[in-house]
Amino acid sequence: MRGGDNFTGADSDRSGLTTVAIQLIHQDTELRNFLIKPENYNRSPWSAEEVEQVMGSSRIAHIAHESGQTPNATEEALCEVLPMLGRSMAKKESEKRQPM
């Protein structure tokens, strides 16, 4: 998926990583609920330690493998991508709750 990610506004260099991260987040309700809390997505960028704690090494390795990046590059990118995804998902959640 080149050219960016319309869901999050991710640039083309991170769109593959973002797509895989979104898939994992949608599979894990606990992770999703954590990310959409304002106190979590308003802290940007996260530290590598925070990413490791939230995602765990196996998820980071999976995202790295699927996106063709190294685990270190993946972890570094997730420092900015995870808060961005949380903010985007929280906004979409809020829009769903708005009366038509």
Cα 38 from Cα 3, distance rounded (Å): 28
What is the rounded average pLDDT of the residues 17-41?
95
- pTM across the whole model: 0.80
29 token code pair: 């309700």
Closest-CA residue to 5 (of 20, 16, 15): 15
Buried b (16+ CB within 10 A) or exposed e, 12-42: eebbbbbbbbbeebeeeeebbeebbeeebbe
Cα 29 from Cα 91, distance rounded (Å): 17
Over residues 31-71, the pLDDT tens digits come to 999 999 999 999 989 999 999 999 999 999 999 999 999 99
